[in-house]
Amino acid sequence: MHIAIIGNGIAGITAARYLRKLSSGCHISVISSETRHFYSRTALMYLYMGHLTYENLKPYEDRFWQKNRITLLHDHVNQIDFTQQCLHCSSGKVVYYDKLLLATGSKSNTLNCPGHNLQGVQGLYSLQDVQLMQQHTQGITHAVVAGGGLIGIEVAEMLRSKGIGVTFLVRENSYWNSILPPEESDMLNRHIRAHGVNLLLDTQIQAILPDEHGRVRAVMTTTGAEIACRFVAVTIGVQPNVDFLRQTGLEIDRGILVNQYLQTNLPNVFAAGDCAQLRQPLPGRKAIEQVWYTGRMQGITAALNLLNRETAYQPRIWFNSAKFFDLEYQTYGNVPPAPLPGQTQLYWQHPDGQKCLRLVYQTQTGALQGVNALGIRLRHDVAEKWLAQQTPAETVLTQFSTAIFDPEFTQPIEQALLNQYHLQNPGKQLRAVHKRSLWHTIFG
């Protein structure tokens, strides 16, 4: 059996690896046009900043693929004939398949304003985007970043690392406040500004103005300001990369529609990762989750189903993490930007204004529903277990030290959280329960 995979990102490559683990007999081909080898897209920023080389971004040595009999084709699929079950590539090659996995990822959204296609205006998604950005930002002194999400802040950090002045335009009245509660969002507004970024809220690009060579020289904002700049990063989100699949028999909405087994409407065709849209997402989850972790989980599920081992996609507890300059962010479960009916939230912020924790729990039962941590790293396994077991918030609070990754912060933070809880619940008196650590058990 020949299984073809389009896309060598985390979804396609995880599927290929698991296919080989589960079946020694099948023939596996991965066709991808951006790079020959899989690399970590989430670490792209470090390539630009000079902290890592392209070789460092590859989690597997190049010989891994041959050793595991996974054929890599560095080619672009222009067209798929779903009836004949074959792929038509840019090189002229035609690849026949018995089963097909579509793992084509996302593409950056673009602006639709005058000047949007001038030289020096671009998004950040691929390795080629980083190379282009290196060219476009050579020797410049000021840049504009438009779009207040996770990629926007990464681009701001990348530019600042080269000493380039940055004006960061955010449409909302606080950074990423469609996702973050007001306190976390406000902490990030301050953090972004503390890193020398000119953060302009409630502001968007109206037009991008050219110089006489067709290169960006300034942007006009919706507030009427003209900002001189030689580079504009457009970071206004991504969308499934599925254009070449439209006008075929494949059912596509925003992404490729799949059932819980990641099967499309066409026989022998599956989809996973950023390009896939679940027809029936689980309650509280999105139909398209464009994050690394989901790509990996869906890659594993796709491999099982490609081999007829019927397995429904079961996302684990929602988790996402990011780094905002030097501030680490982790979120577990469901932390809405504003409390929902029936929920209680406990928020604690360190007096230095650079660390905070938020616990969300059901008011009636006390069951933990979500956790946000900024500036404090939590242990994934502990936080996930609490949420999966719907542990009561009071139990979580008395054992909070077990979740904190950096031991020097453990006790003060745990006590501060308890104090905050007592302030919100004057009748209660909880005490921390300290389990003896393995170190203490062994060394006394």
Residue 241 binds ligand FAD, judged by CB under 6 A: yes
DSSP line for 201-231: SS--EEEEEE-TTSBEEEEEETTS-EEE-SE
Which one of residues 42, 259, 354, 395 is an interface residue with ligand FAD (CB under 6 A)?
42
Nearer to ligand FAD by C-beta: 29 or 221?
29
Nearer to ligand FAD by C-beta: 319 or 348?
319
CB of 40 to ligand FAD, least distance (A): 8
Residue 292 binds ligand FAD, judged by CB under 6 A: yes
Which one of residues 295, 333, 370, 375 is an interface residue with ligand FAD (CB under 6 A)?
295
Q: For residue 342, count CB atoms less than 10 angstroms from its CB and return exposed for 0-12, middle for 13-18, buried for 19 or more.
A: exposed
Nearer to ligand FAD by C-beta: 41 or 358?
41
Residue nearest to ligand FAD (CB): 105
Annotate each residue in 124-163 with x if it binds ligand FAD (CB under 6 A) or - if it does not, as one string: xx-------------------------x--x---------
Binding piece for ligand FAD, criterion CB under 6 A, among 64-72, 210-218, 279-287, 292-300 = 292-300
Which one of residues 54, 82, 293, 325 is an interface residue with ligand FAD (CB under 6 A)?
293
Annotate each residue in 389-408 with x if it binds ligand FAD (CB under 6 A) or - if it does not, as one string: --------------------
The residue to which tokens 């501060």 are assigned: 416
Residue 301 binds ligand FAD, judged by CB under 6 A: no
Measure Cα distances from 97 to 31, 88, 267, 298, 381 in Å.
12, 11, 12, 21, 39
Alpha-carbon gap, residue 381 to 377, rounded angstroms: 12
Q: Are 145 and 152 in contact (CB under 8 A)?
A: yes
Residue 60 binds ligand FAD, judged by CB under 6 A: no
In angstroms, the first-to-last Cα distance of the chain is 59
List phi, psi (to 5°) of 19.
-60, -45
Element of type H or E holding 146 = strand 142-146
Which one of residues 111, 230, 263, 274 is an interface residue with ligand FAD (CB under 6 A)?
274
Nearer to ligand FAD by C-beta: 238 or 413?
238
Segment 4 to 23, residues that bind ligand FAD, using CB under 6 A: 6-12
Binding piece for ligand FAD, criterion CB under 6 A, among 173-181, 289-297, 334-342, 414-422 = 289-297
CB atoms within 10 A of CB 92: 7
Alpha-carbon gap, residue 36 to 25, rounded angstroms: 23
Residue 188 binds ligand FAD, judged by CB under 6 A: no
Q: Which of 436, 292, 316, 429 is closest to 383 using CA atoms? A: 316
Rounded to 5°, the CA angle 310-17-268 comes to 40
Q: How many CA atoms does the CB half-sphere of 6 hold within 13 Å?
A: 29
Q: Are 269 and 250 in contact (CB under 8 A)?
A: yes
Segment 68 to 87, residues that bind ligand FAD, using CB under 6 A: 76-77
Q: Which of 277, 11, 237, 12 is closest to 125 using CA atoms? A: 237
CB of 379 to ligand FAD, least distance (A): 18
CB of 274 to ligand FAD, least distance (A): 4
CB of 327 to ligand FAD, least distance (A): 13
Residue 277 binds ligand FAD, judged by CB under 6 A: no
Which one of residues 54, 244, 347, 405 is an interface residue with ligand FAD (CB under 6 A)?
244
What letter does residue 340 receive in the DSSP assignment? P
Strand 70-74 and strand 256-258: the pairing is unpaired
Rounded to 5°, the CA angle 190-194-195 comes to 125
Binding piece for ligand FAD, criterion CB under 6 A, among 101-109, 305-313, 376-384, 394-402 = 101-109
Say how many residues touch ligand FAD, by CB under 6 A: 35
Residue 34 binds ligand FAD, judged by CB under 6 A: yes
* Greatest distance between any 2 Cα atoms in the chain: 74
Strands (DSSP E) found in 147-287: 165-169, 197-200, 205-210, 216-221, 226-228, 231-234, 238-240, 256-258, 269-271, 276-278
CB of 273 to ligand FAD, least distance (A): 2
Which one of residues 29, 85, 104, 410 is an interface residue with ligand FAD (CB under 6 A)?
104
Nearer to ligand FAD by C-beta: 31 or 416?
31
Chain residues that interact with ligand FAD, rule: CB under 6 A: 6-12, 31-34, 41-42, 44, 76-77, 103-106, 124-125, 151, 154, 241, 244, 273-274, 290-293, 295, 320, 322
